């Protein structure tokens, strides 16, 4: 998996590309933990290049969302491909996360 990070205003954008699963989750989990070490923890995870997620990936995202919210921020998702969106809908995590169709919308929602 390829990971890219950048800041847009006060928001950290994590851009993922590849399979998000047991083999790759640790590096994403570490990035999310470091990003949620200060207040406010405002993250956008761009899943445009991800076509597969497993339960460990979902767990890492839920953990990041909880840590972000404890610090007065949030973790938002954007650009979900259809197979990934279906997994979020089947697990009902689409109700727990704010999911946006574009990165710009997700970033603007923090303002």
Write down the domain spans for the chain. 2-108
Neighbours of 77 (CB within 10 A): 22
User: Cβ contacts of residue 65 below 8 Å, gap of 6+?
Assistant: 74, 75, 96, 97
Kindly indicate whether the domain formed by 2-108 is annotated with CATH number 3.30.750.24. Answer: yes
How are beta strands 2-8 and 11-17 bridged, if at all?
antiparallel
User: Cβ contacts of residue 104 below 8 Å, gap of 6+?
Assistant: none
User: Over 90: is that where the pLDDT of 2 sits?
Assistant: yes
Which residue has better confidence, 38 or 57?
57
Q: State the Rg of the chain over Cα.
A: 12
CB 37 within 8 A of CB 67: no
Q: Is the whole-model pTM more than 0.75?
A: yes
* Mean predicted confidence (pLDDT) in 98-103: 97
CB 74 within 8 A of CB 98: yes
What are the distances in angstroms from CA 81 to CA 26, 69, 87, 100? 22, 25, 10, 12
């Amino acid at each position: 998996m390829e990971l890219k990070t950048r800041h847009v205003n006060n928001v950290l954008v994590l851009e993922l590309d590849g399979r998000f699963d047991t083999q790759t989750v640790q590096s994403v989990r570490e990035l999310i933990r470091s990003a949620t070490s200060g207040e406010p923890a405002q993250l956008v995870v761009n899943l445009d290049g991800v076509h597969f997620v497993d339960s460990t990936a979902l767990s890492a995202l839920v953990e990041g969302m909880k840590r972000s919210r404890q610090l007065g921020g949030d973790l938002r998702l954007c650009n979900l491909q259809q197979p990934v969106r279906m997994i979020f809908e089947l697990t009902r995590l689409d109700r727990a996360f704010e999911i946006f169709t574009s990165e710009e919308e997700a970033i603007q929602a923090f303002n």
